Amino acid sequence: MRIDELKIDSEMLYSGHNACPGCGAALAVRYLTKALGPNLAIVLTASCWSIISGMPPLTALKCPILHCPFPSAGSVGSGVKRGLNAAGHDDTTVVVLAGDGGTFDIGLQAMSGAAQRNEDYIFVCYDNEAYMNTGMQTSSATPFGARTATAPYPLFKAGQKKDIMQIMAAHGIPYAATATVAFPDDMESKLKKAQAIKGFRFIHILSPCPPGWGTESSDTIHLSRLAVSTGFFPLYEIENGVTWKMTHYQGEKKTPLKEYLSAQRRFKQMDRQRMEMLQHEVDHEWDCLMEKVATSPSE
Amino acid sequence: MAYEMLSGSQAAAAAVQRAGVDLVAAYPITPQTAIVETLANYEAKGELGGDFVSVESEYAALACCYGAAAAGARVFTATASHGLAYMHEVIHWCSGARVPVVMVNVNRAIGAPWCLDPDQGDSLSQRDTGWMQIYCSGAQEVFDTVLQAYVLSESLLLPCLVVFDGFYISHTYEAVDIPEKEKTLEFVGEKRFKPQVVPGNPVNLHGLTTGDNQILLVRNRHESMIKALDLFKQVNKKFEGYFARSYKAVDSVIPPGSKTVFVAAGSTVETIRWALPGLKDCGLIQLRMFRPYPAEELCAVLEAHDVERVIVVDRNCSIGMGGIFSQELKAALYNMENPPIVEDLLLAGGIDLTIDMLHRVLETTAEGKNADQKWGVDVR
C-alpha cells in the first residue's frame, strides 16, 4: 500500500520539522496525527520529538503540543484530559507521546498509574530502542546484543528487551496494540479503533532510527518490515488485557533474524552464539504469542 | 460568622472546596493526609464541585495539576516533606510554564532518618523554584490564605505554595470562621487565566528554547512575582471588604520601647505572641510572605521601631550556613544604615518553641564565637 492511498484526513506534520533523514519517529507521528486528527492535543515528554517538534514559537504539528518533564507524561496526560473535560472539550482526543525511555524506563510509573485508573487517553510509545536524543544510550527497550554509547564494544546490552506489551496487558486496559512504520494501514486501523474506545489505550510503535541503529536513511521501511517478518516485532492487538489477536500474520515461516540484525551496525560485533540466543528468544516469544492468540476468549 | 472547630488541614480543605476548583489530585503523606481525606469526603458527598483523582505519587499529583491547569482548570494538591522533595522537578516546571497551581505544604522534616516533626526545610528547599510562598500561623489564616492564593496565583500566572507546620497547625483544632461558599466563590471570582492547551490551536507549549530567550522568561517571572507584594495588599483589602479581616506580608506587634524583636514564620509566631507580655522590651514580626521576599517592608518595620536586636526563629537549617530565614533577613538588612544585630534560634528537626526557651535566649548575649547561632536544644 502507498501512503497516498491512505484514506486518512489531512497532513498534520509540517515539512521543515527537525527530524533526521529517515526518522521512524517522525513517520510514526505523521501517520498517527493523520489518523487521529484534527481534534487532537498532544502531551509530549522528553525524547527525540522534543527536538523534532521545533523551537517555539515554531511548531511541527497542526495541533497543540504540551511539553512535560521526562517521568511525568502519564500523569500530565491525565491532567490535560480531565482539564479539557472541565473546559467542555470532551471530544478532543488526547495523545501522550513518549519514546521508549519515557515509557519503559523513567515514565513507567506514571504510565502504570494512569493505566490502572483507566485514564481516557491514548499513550503512544515510539520505540527506537535506546536514548537516541542523547546519542544512543541503553534503555530497557534496547534489544539483547546491541551496542550502545553506554555499552560500547566489547560490551553489549546484556538483558532482554522489557516486554512492555505484557506489562500493559496485565493492567487490563481496554486496548493495546503494536504497530510499525512499514505498515501504515495496520497502524491507521489500530489508531482509529483505539480512538473509538474510552479509557486507557496503549500503542507501541517500533520506529527505526538510522543514526542510532547504524543504517541508511533509505532503509527505515525495509528494517521496519524485517522486524515484523522475522517475528522480532509482531503486529497484534490486545483487548481488555485478555483477547490477543494477530493483525499481520506471515505464517510459520519467519525470515531468519540474522537478516534483520546484520543490516544494522549496532549489532555488527554480535557473534554467532549471541545471534542464536536472540533468535531462540524471538522464537520463544513468538510461540508464547501464538499460544495467547490461540487461547484468547472469543468475542 | 459561622465558626467551626477545624484542624488546620480541615481548614485548608474547606477553603479548597469553597474556591471552585475543577480538579484535586490527591496522594497521602503524614502530616498532610487529612487535607486530601477531607476533600475526598466532600467528593463522596457530592460537594466538591470538581474532579477528584487519587494518583500514584506526589510527583504524579503535581504533574496532573500541571496538565489540568494548562488546559484551563483551577487545581489543587497538597503534600509535605518527602512528597514535596519528590515533586521538585515539576515544581520548577509549573512555574516556568506559568500555570496557576495552588498547593499546600505541611512542614515536616526530611529524612534520613524518618522524622515527622515540623522542620521547615521541605518548603524552604523549594525557595528558588519560582513559586510564591506564604507561611500561616493558624487554621483561620490557612483557610483565608488558600482562598487568597487562587487570586494571587491566577492574577500573576505563578503557582503558590501555602505553608503551615505539621501537627502544631495541621492537627490542632481551632474555631475557624467559614463563610458561605457563595461569598467565597464571589471573592475568588471567575478564572483570571486563559487555557494554554486549546483544541484547534497549534501551539508548541514549553518546548526547547535558548538561553537568550530563557533569560527574558526568567526576568519576566521575577518581575511578575515582585508584583505579588503590592497585589497581596490589594487582595487583602478586597478580602477585608468581604470577610472583615486581612493580613500583611509582614505583620508586627512591637510595643513602644522594644529593643529586641523576634522574627518568625508559621506556628512559632503564636507562641511568641502569647509570651510577649512576659518578655521585657520585646516585639514580634511575623514573616508571612517569603516569596516574593518583602525586604523593604521588613526593613521599614525595623527602622521605624529602632530595633537593636533581632532573634530569628528558624525551624530549619541550611547545613553549613545556618537558619534560612535569618540568612535572608541579613541579606535584606545590608542596605540599612544602622542594622540591628541578627541572632538565630535554630529549631531544626522541628522541635517545639517553648516560652522558657525565649527567656533563655534573651538572657544570652551575642558576643563570642558563633554566639549568633543558638540551638534550641541548648536553651530549653
Domains of chain B listed by start with CATH number = 3-243 (3.40.50.970), 251-378 (3.40.50.920)
In a domain, A259, yes or no: yes
B195 and A83: CB-CB below 8 Å?
yes
In a domain, A115, yes or no: yes
* Distance (Å) from the alpha carbon of B202 to chain A's nearest alpha carbon: 4
In a domain, A74, yes or no: yes
Residues of B in contact with A59 (CB under 8 A): 202-204, 207
Cβ(B136)–Cβ(B145) below 8 Å? yes
- CATH value at residue A257: 3.40.50.970
A109 and B53: CB-CB below 8 Å?
no
Cβ(A286)–Cβ(A278) below 8 Å? no
B203 and A59: CB-CB below 8 Å?
yes
pLDDT tens by residue, chain B, 380 residues: 689 999 999 999 999 999 999 999 999 999 999 999 999 999 999 999 999 999 999 999 999 999 999 999 999 999 999 999 999 999 999 999 999 999 999 999 999 999 999 999 999 999 999 999 999 999 999 999 999 999 999 999 999 999 999 999 999 999 999 999 999 999 999 999 999 999 999 999 999 999 999 999 999 999 999 999 999 999 999 999 999 999 999 999 999 999 999 999 999 999 999 999 999 999 999 999 999 999 999 999 999 999 999 999 999 999 999 999 999 999 999 989 999 999 999 999 999 999 999 999 999 876 666 678 999 999 98
In a domain, A299, yes or no: no
Radius of gyration of chain A (CA): 18
Q: Chain B contact for A86, CB < 8 A?
A: yes
Q: Which of B54, B55, B67 sits opposite A66 (nearest CB)?
A: B67
Domain that holds residue A186: 3-294
> Residue B54 is placed in which grid cell?
487519587
Alpha-carbon gap, residue A126 to A103, rounded angstroms: 9
Domain count across chain A:
1
Alpha-carbon gap, residue A82 to A76, rounded angstroms: 10
Q: What is the DSSP letter of B4?
A: E
* Distance (Å) from the alpha carbon of A42 to chain B's nearest alpha carbon: 9
The ranges of chain A with pLDDT < 50 are 8
Q: Chain A contact for B94, CB < 8 A?
A: no
- Burial annotation B255-285 (CB, 10 A radius, 16+ → b, else e): eeebebbbbbbbbbbbbbbebbeebeebbbb
Q: Which of B59, B71, B209 sits opposite A84 (nearest CB)?
A: B71
Count helices and strands in chain A by DSSP H and E runs: 10, 8
Handedness of CA A128, A134, A135, A136 (dihedral sign): negative
In a domain, A107, yes or no: yes
Q: Chain A contact for B57, CB < 8 A?
A: yes
Alpha-carbon gap, residue A54 to A52, rounded angstroms: 5
Per-residue pLDDT of A25-50, as tens digits, reads 999 999 999 999 899 999 999 999 99
DSSP E strand boundaries for A159-233: 175-180, 201-206
Residues of B in contact with A68 (CB under 8 A): 63, 66-67, 93, 206
Nearest Cα residue in chain A from B91: A69
In a domain, A118, yes or no: yes
* Residue A41: partners with Cβ closer than 8 Å, 6 or more residues away: A63, A64, A66, A80, A84, A92, A93, A94, A95, B71, B197, B199
A56 and B73: CB-CB below 8 Å?
no
Alpha-carbon gap, residue B260 to B19, rounded angstroms: 40
Hey, which residues does B65 pair with through a beta bridge? none
ipTM attached to this prediction: 0.96
What per-residue confidence (pLDDT) applies to A250?
A: 74
In a domain, A56, yes or no: yes
Alpha-carbon gap, residue A117 to A113, rounded angstroms: 6
In a domain, A163, yes or no: yes
Q: Chain A contact for B234, CB < 8 A?
A: no
Handedness of CA A49, A55, A56, A61 (dihedral sign): negative
Query: B160-165 and B132-135 as β-strands: parallel, antiparallel, unpaired?
Result: parallel
